[in-house]
Amino acid sequence: MDEALVVRNLKTQFFIYEGIVKALDGVSFTLKKGEIFGIVGETGCGKSVTAYSITRLIPDPPGRIVEGHILMGNLDLLRNLSKEVIIVTKKRTRIRHNNRVIKRNEYFFNKIRGKYISMIFQEPMAALNPVYTIEDQVSETLLLHNRTRMLKIIKSASEHLEELKEWQNSGSFPSFSGELGEEIEKIKEASKSKDSVKKHQELLIEAASKFSKRKEKFERMLSKSIENDKLEDRLLKTSDEAEQEAIIKKLSKETKKINLIKITRKMKRRSKDPIIIEARRECLSLLESVEIPNPSIVMKSFPHELSGGMLQRVVISIALANSPKILIADEPTTALDVTIQAQILQLLRNLQKNIGTSIILITHDLAVIAEMCDRVAVMYAGNIVETATTSELFKNPKHPYTIGLLRSLPRIDDPSRELKTIPGSVPNLITPPDGCRFHPRCPFVFDKCKVEKPETIEVSEGHTVACHLFHGKEVN
């Protein structure tokens, strides 16, 4: 099994006063493990709505996922979708929200988001909370999702407390086995200076000594979080729906108690808690891994004190804090300058190599796609019109829209080329054109295009097109 995420027939609509905006009209794609999958398209074609639908961040009302499946392993993330609303037809048809199901889904998704699927947003300034420090915000996801690992590290550190203290001022570490050993290897790799290693040691020793003072309590905490982790593992592996349901019920009881803001408040008050000290250390090494200079100073600052590129690094570090299986990057570099964009793209590529996360990269910039992605999907007006490997798409584009898009691109390496344009503009999605949604702008349009929506067809291996011009095997 090499699929990280399978999206099938995803339909998201927005119910507004003017009518129903059919933002996604049956989007299907597969994200393979360890690849960077790009989604390109113009403004309003549904790129971001796809991303928000996967993480279930569509504001409801007005938006709602109407139909579709998102499979992560054996688990369908949208399995309760039809139960979320009750359609009442007495005098006129009305939609009633089933709050119980919605709430439970919400609790369940709190477990998924940030741990298995995480997201980088376009505006780093808007993605971070202006009233909390960087440290608080990075630690938050760690405290929510990564308790087991942190507790294990402190536990084994508390067992080796004497040894650690001996090495404290040397700026290097003795070698250990197990979780602590791995962590120390990581620190050695990421830290550039002796001072930062010392800072790590200091925090680790502080946490470990706190841990040994109230050992029983934290041991209990550890065993409980290990139990939860086992449940989550089971949830992703099992294909039995009844079992999945039972586990989700159990887990959502746990998550109910966690209030995100409360955690950060508590954190401030009880900064003596070893987990919080460990989260601080972890935060330090995360900021180091995204190449932020002076991480110990940045940790204590507020978002407005940092530049755009720096903030985007912080956002990336939050997204990658729990080594998620899937990372959705929604226009991660659009708000940044070219030189900073180059830095961020290089960073993303390196991190992807190290962690092995699968990335969905959403952008309107074909050049970024060409540099970063393994495979690309081109979207137009809520449909994926073409999917192929990057080199195939650029060399051998099939869909008329893709061809037009590539021709309208000014090229830095070929200035003499005349810019060809696609006539017209993106259609209104409240009343989209019948048949193929591209047909009013398509140079090859014929009668069938105006009536029938084209099926997705495989023209060569791994290259699919939704267009009546091509014949081949249909894929679902």
Partner 1 sequence: MKEVLIQGIGLRKYFPIKGGISGRTMGYVYAVDDVNIKIYKGETVGLVGESGCGKTTLGKVLLDLIDPTAGMLFYKPDESLTSQVSELYMKMTTNKPSELRKEERKLTNEAKRRDVFRNRVRNKDFRRRVQIVFQDPVSSLDPRMLVKDIIAEPIKINGVPTESGKRTKLRGSNLQNYVLQMIGEMGLNRDHLFRFPHEFSGGQRQRIAIARAISIKPEFIVLDEPTSALDVSVQAQILNLLKELQRKYGITYLFITHNLAVIRAVSDRVIVMYLGKIVEEARTDELFTSPIHPYTQALLASIPVPDPDRKRNRLVLSGDVPSPSNPPSGCRFHTRCRFAQEICSQKEPVLEEIREGHMVACHFSKDIAASESEINAIKKVESAVIDNLQDVKSDESTRG
**Residue 377 C-beta: closest distance to partner 1, Å:** 15
CB of 94 or CB of 417, closer to partner 1: 417
Enumerate residues 6+ apart whose C-beta is below 8 A from 245.
none
Q: Roughly what angle, to the nearest 10 degrees, separates helices 147-159 and 274-289?
A: 110
Cis status, amide bond into 61, omega within 30 of 0: yes
312 forms part of the interface with partner 1 (CB under 8 A): no
Enumerate residues 6+ apart whose C-beta is below 8 A from 288.
190, 191, 192, 196, 295
**Residue 405 C-beta: closest distance to partner 1, Å:** 6
Please identify which residue in the block is written with the tokens 């570090």.
Answer: 317
Q: Among 172, 307, 350, 460, which residue interacts with partner 1 (rule: CB under 8 A)?
A: 307
237 forms part of the interface with partner 1 (CB under 8 A): no
**Residue 431 C-beta: closest distance to partner 1, Å:** 15
**Residues in region 319-378 near partner 1 by CB under 8 A:** 337-343, 345-346, 364-371
Q: Among 97, 272, 420, 448, which residue interacts with partner 1 (rule: CB under 8 A)?
A: 420
Stretch 14-43: interaction string toward partner 1, x if CB under 8 A: ----------------------------xx
With contact defined as beta carbons under 8 Å apart, do 390 and 378 qualify?
Answer: no
102 forms part of the interface with partner 1 (CB under 8 A): no
Enumerate residues 6+ apart whose C-beta is below 8 A from 403.
397
**Residue 321 C-beta: closest distance to partner 1, Å:** 23
Phi-psi map region of 299: left, alpha, beta (phi>0 left; psi -120 to 50 alpha): alpha
Q: Among 257, 269, 412, 476, which residue interacts with partner 1 (rule: CB under 8 A)?
A: 412
**Residue 416 C-beta: closest distance to partner 1, Å:** 9
CA pair distance 462, 400, nearest whole angstrom: 18
Which one of the spans 63-71, 259-267, 411-419, 459-467 is the region binding partner 1 (CB under 8 A)? 411-419
304 forms part of the interface with partner 1 (CB under 8 A): no
Using DSSP's 3-state secondary structure scheme, residue 166 falls into: helix
Sign, Cα dihedral of 178, 179, 183, 186: positive
H or E stretch at 457 = strand 456-460
- Residues at the contact surface with partner 1, assessed by CB under 8 A: 42-43, 293, 307, 309-310, 337-343, 345-346, 364-371, 390-391, 394, 404-413, 415, 419-422, 425-426
